[in-house]
Amino acid sequence: MFVASSFARRMRRHVLAAVLAIATSMADGASAQTTEDPVYRAAFEEMLRKPADPPTLLRYAELAVKAGNLEGAISALERLLLIDPDLPHVRLELGVLYYRLGSYEAARGYLESARDTGRGQPAVAEPAERYLAEIHARTRRFSLGGELLGGVRYSSNANSGPVGTIQSFGSSVVPSPNISRQSDWGVVAAAALQGRYDLGRQDNGAFEADLSLYGARQFSVASANVALVDLFAGPRFSPFEGFASSVSLKPFFTGRYVAVHDLTAYWAWGAGVEASIPVAPGSTVDLTGFGRRREYVSNADAPTNNNSTGNEGVVAAAYRLEVTKQVTVTLAGNFTRYVAVVPSENYWEYGLSAALNVRFADPIWASSRLWRLVLSADVAWANYDRPDPAVDPARVRSQNDYNFGLVLAVPVNDQFSIVAQGAYTRRDASIANYAYDAFTAMTGVSWRF
Amino acid sequence: MSRTCLISLVACVAMASPAAANVGVTSVTSGDPLGQPPAQAERILRVGTDIQANELVTTKDDDRAHIVFLDGTALTVGPNSSLVIDRFVYDPNHSNGVLSVNMRRGVMRLVGGALTKTGDVRITTPSGSLGIRGGIVVVEVSDTGATQGTFLFGHALTVTGGGKTVVATRPGSLIQMEPGRVPSPPTILPVRGLGSTALLEKPHGQAGVGSGAPASSGANLRSTIEGAFDRSQFSAGNSKVPPQTHDQKTAYQAQQGHPTGHAPQILALTRLSKVASEPISKHNTSSGRPRTPSHH
C-alpha cells in the first residue's frame, strides 16, 4: 500500500513537472525581443559610442541574438577578432552564428579554427565538433538519414475484426473466429529513410527520396501479419522569382507494396506534385496532388481481392505552424476519389487531422535532451458508390474513421530514444463487416541516424 | 556631438551636405589604415575616428580597419585595399536608406545593418557592380580589377557586368567577374573554400585595438575580453544550444525559412500501421466471399 501510494506521488510529481516543462517551452517564444526594443536600441547606441569596448560589444551581441539580428552579433564578434585573433570562444560563437544563418562554409572556418587553437579545451572543442559534424551532414552532396524503430505492441483487435454478426449476400451470419476481433501481442519493426542529392542549384534544389518500411508479426493472429514498403521520390526546386521565390515544388513518383499474412495484397504506383509554401515566418502550407494505380492481387485469403483494383486521385493540404521553437501544430485535410474495376469498390473520402508536437525539458533526470510528446487526432468519412452484392445488395457502404494517438519519445542519447505509443482507432460503418475499434499500445526503441 | 544626435540627424545632414556628414565610426583598426575625407588631409584612422561620406579608405600590407555605419552595417577592410564610401543616407525613423561603396582593390567583408533589410548596398568595382540585400558578403578585387563576390548570407547577391546580371541566393555561393566580361554563373564554394576571410583578421600573435587606443598589452586585452565573455550569457543562447539534427530540418527547409520541429519520423511510421491495417480489414470481408461473385 505504501509502495503504491509512494509510486502514485512520484508519478504525480513527474506529471506535474512534465506539464510545467511543456508550459515553459510554450512560453519561451513570447519573450523574444526585437530591434525596436528600447534595451536593444540603447545597447546599439552604446556600441557606437564604445565601438571597441569588449564588454559593450558582448552585451550588444547578446541582445542582437535575442532580437533575431544574428548579423549584428556577427559584426560585434568579428570586431573582437580584429582586436585579438586568438579567442577560441569567440570563434566558436561566430561559427555557431553562421551555422544558424545557414552559411555553412563560414561556420566551418570559425569552428575548425576554434577547435584547433588548443586553448579553451574541451569547452570549445566539444561543441565545435558537434556543430562541425552537423555541418558535414548538411553539406554532403548526397545524404542519407532516417529512423529505425522496433518494439512490442499489444492490440485489443489485432485483425481489425468486427464485433457480432456480419453481412454475407444480404444475410446476417456469424463470422468465423478468425475474422472476429482478436486481441494479440506482436512485434513491429519500421524504418523511415530519407535520401537527398544536392543538385547544386541556387534554390537548394535536390533530388529527394523517402522510403518507408513497416512490418508487424503477430504472436497468434497470423492473418494480421503485414509488410509494407512505401516510396516517394522526386526533385525539389523553386521555379519562381520575386515574392514566390520561397515556394518549392516537388514532382514525385510514388510506389507502394503491401502484403498481409505473407500474401501480396496490392501494388500501387503513381505520380504527383507537392508545393511547399511558406506563408509567414514559422508557418508553411503544403499542397499535394497525385494520381495512383492500385493493383490488388487475389490470393487464398482474399480470393476477390482483384475486384478492388483501380485508380485514385488525392489532393491534400497541410498547414504547419511553429508556435514556439518547441511547439509545432499541424492541421491537414485530404480528399480522395477511388474508382475501381468493380463499381461497388468506388468511393469518395474526406479526412481532417491535427497534431500537436511538443518538445520539452527532461522532467525526471534533468538531462539536456528534450523529450517529445505528439498528440494526434484524425477523422475520415468515406462513402461508396454502390452496394456490394456479395456483402449486402441493399445497403451502400459508408464509414467514419476516428483515430487518436499519443507518442512519447524519451531520448537516451543523440541517436537512441525509448518510444511509447498509445492509440485508439474506431470505425463506424453502415455495414457491420467494416466496423471495428481497437486500442493499441506499443513500446520500443528508435534509432536515428 | 553624441552618436544619438548623429543618428537622428544623419539623414538630413547627409542629403543636404553629403561631403561633410559623418556616416559611421572607425571601430577597430590594425596597423595604420588611412582615411581621407573630401577636402581634408589624409589621416590615420584610429578607434573612434568618424567616417565621412565620400571618404577614401586605404590600407597597406599589415593594415585592417573595421567601420560601423550608423545603421549598424559593418565594413571590414583587409590589407592592400582602397575604397571610397560613395554615399550613405539613412533614415533611422524608417530604417531605410542607401549605401554605396566604390572598391578599387583589396578585400572587404560587409555585414548588413538596418538599411540593408529594405534596400541594396551597392558596391562598384572596376569589373561591374554588386548589390547586396540584407546579408553578409566578402568582396575581393585584384590589381587587374577582377572581382570575386562571395555570398555568405542574405536575400541575394546581384552581380552586374558586361550587360548581364547574375544572382546568387544560396549562402556559400561565389560569383566571379573580370573587367569587360559578363559575370560567371554562381558556383557553390568547395569545402574550406573561403580562404579570403583570413585576410580580414589580425594575424595570430598580435593583439590590440589599433593605433590611438589606450596603451594595453595583448595579454591584458585578451583577459579583458575573455573575462567579459565569461560574464556574459552569450554562449547560453548560442553555442550551448545543440544543433538541430539534419532530419529535423533539412538544409533546403532551413534556407527557405520553413518551420522547425517537424513531426518525428515515429509519427510517419505509426501512420504506416494505419495504412497496413486497411487491407487486413479488406481481407476479413473478402475471405468470406465465394471465389467469383458470379457464382452467387
pLDDT tens-digit readout, A92-106:
999 999 999 999 999
Whether residue A328 and residue B280 make contact (CB cut-off 8 A), yes or no, is no
C-alpha B275/C-alpha B282 separation (Å) is: 12
> Could you tell me which of B108, B104, B187, B188 has the C-alpha nearest to residue B146?
B104
Assess: ipTM above 0.85.
no
The 3 state secondary structure assigned to chain B is: CCHHHHHHHHHHHHHHCHHHCEEEEEEEEECCCEEECCCCCCEECCCCCEEECCCEEECCCCCEEEEEECCCCEEEECCCCEEEEEEEEEECCCCEEEEEEEEEEEEEEEECCHHHHCCCEEEEECCEEEEEECCEEEEEECCCCCEEEEEEECCEEEEEECCEEEEECCCCEEEEECCCCCCCCCEECCCCCCHHHHHHCCCCCCCCCCCCCCCCCHHHHHHHHHHHHHHCCCHHHCCCCCCCCCCCCCHHHHHHCCCCCCCCHHHHHHHHHHHHHHHHHHHHHHCCCCCCHHHC
Residues of chain B found within 8 Å of residue A44, distances taken between Cβ atoms? 72
Return the pLDDT at B290.
37
Whether residue A82 and residue B28 make contact (CB cut-off 8 A), yes or no, is yes
Looking at residue A239, its amino acid is P
Return the pLDDT at B252.
35
Select the residue from B9, B175, B199, B280 to test the A interface by mutation, using most A Cβ atoms within 10 A. B280
Per-residue pLDDT of chain B (296 residues; tens, 9 = 90+): 444 444 444 444 444 344 457 899 999 998 999 999 998 899 999 999 999 999 999 999 989 999 999 999 999 999 999 999 999 988 877 778 899 999 999 999 999 998 888 888 999 999 999 999 888 999 999 999 999 999 999 989 999 999 999 999 999 999 999 999 999 999 999 888 887 677 787 776 665 655 444 445 566 778 888 888 888 888 888 998 888 764 444 433 333 333 333 345 556 666 777 787 777 776 666 554 433 333 32
Domain annotation for chain B: domains and CATH numbers:
3-200 (2.60.120.1440)
Kindly identify which residue of chain B lies nearest to residue A111, measuring between CA atoms.
Answer: B239
Which option is the CATH number for A14-138: 1.25.40.10, 1.10.10.10, 1.10.1040.10, 3.40.50.720? 1.25.40.10
- B213 interfaces chain A, CB cutoff of 8 Å: yes
What tens digit of pLDDT does each residue of B32-43 get? Answer: 999 999 988 999
- Domain regions of chain A by residue span: 14-138, 140-448
Residues of chain B found within 8 Å of residue A107, distances taken between Cβ atoms? none
Return the pLDDT at B263.
43
Closest CA of chain A from B38, distance in Å: 23
Return the pLDDT at B286.
59
Residue B153: CB atoms within 10 A of its CB come to 24
Return the pLDDT at B74.
95
Whether residue B258 and residue A278 make contact (CB cut-off 8 A), yes or no, is yes
- Inter-chain CB pairs, A–B, below 8 Å: 393
Instruction: Round the average pLDDT of chain A to a whole number and report it.
Output: 88
Whether residue A55 and residue B203 make contact (CB cut-off 8 A), yes or no, is no
Nearest to B269 among A112, A190, A425 (CB): A190
- B256 interfaces chain A, CB cutoff of 8 Å: yes
Which option is the CATH number for A140-448: 3.40.630.30, 2.60.40.10, 1.10.3720.10, 2.40.160.40? 2.40.160.40
Residues of chain B found within 8 Å of residue A261, distances taken between Cβ atoms? 283
- B94 interfaces chain A, CB cutoff of 8 Å: no
Whether residue B285 and residue A355 make contact (CB cut-off 8 A), yes or no, is no
Q: Are strands B121-125 and B96-111 parallel, antiparallel or unpaired?
A: parallel
Peptide bond connecting A54 to the previous residue in cis, omega within 30 degrees of 0: no
Whether residue A109 and residue B7 make contact (CB cut-off 8 A), yes or no, is no
Whether residue B266 and residue A281 make contact (CB cut-off 8 A), yes or no, is no
C-alpha A276/C-alpha A270 separation (Å) is: 20
The 3 state secondary structure assigned to chain A is: CHHHHHHHHHHHHHHHHHHHHHHHHHHHHHHCCCCCCHHHHHHHHHHHHCCCCHHHHHHHHHHHHHCCCHHHHHHHHHHHHHHCCCCHHHHHHHHHHHHHCCCHHHHHHHHHHHHHCCCCCCCCHHHHHHHHHHHHHHHCCEEEEEEEEEEEEEECCCCCCCCCCEEECCEEECCCCCCCCCCEEEEEEEEEEEEEEECCCCCCCEEEEEEEEEEEEECCCHHHCEEEEEEEEEEEECCCCHHHCCCEEEEEEEEEEEEECCEEEEEEEEEEEEEEEEEECCEEEEEEEEEEEEEECCCCCCCCHHHHCEEEEEEEEEEEEECCCCEEEEEEEEEEEEEECCHHHCEEEEEEEEEEEEEEECCCCCCCCEEEEEEEEEEEEEEECCCCCCCCCCCCCEEEEEEEEEEEEEECCCCEEEEEEEEEEEEEECCHHHCEEEEEEEEEEEEEC
Residues of chain B found within 8 Å of residue A66, distances taken between Cβ atoms? 237
Whether residue A105 and residue B172 make contact (CB cut-off 8 A), yes or no, is yes
Kindly identify which residue of chain A lies nearest to residue B174, measuring between CA atoms.
Answer: A202
> Which residues of chain A register pLDDT less than 50?
1-4, 7, 11, 21-32
Angle at B77 between CA A68 and CA B68, to 5 degrees: 45
> Could you tell me which of A192, A162, A364 has the C-alpha nearest to residue B285?
A162
Return the pLDDT at A5.
52
- B273 interfaces chain A, CB cutoff of 8 Å: yes
Kindly identify which residue of chain B lies nearest to residue A125, measuring between CA atoms.
Answer: B239
* CA Rg value for chain A: 27
Whether residue B233 and residue A62 make contact (CB cut-off 8 A), yes or no, is yes
- A194 interfaces chain B, CB cutoff of 8 Å: yes
Kindly identify which residue of chain B lies nearest to residue A145, measuring between CA atoms.
Answer: B247
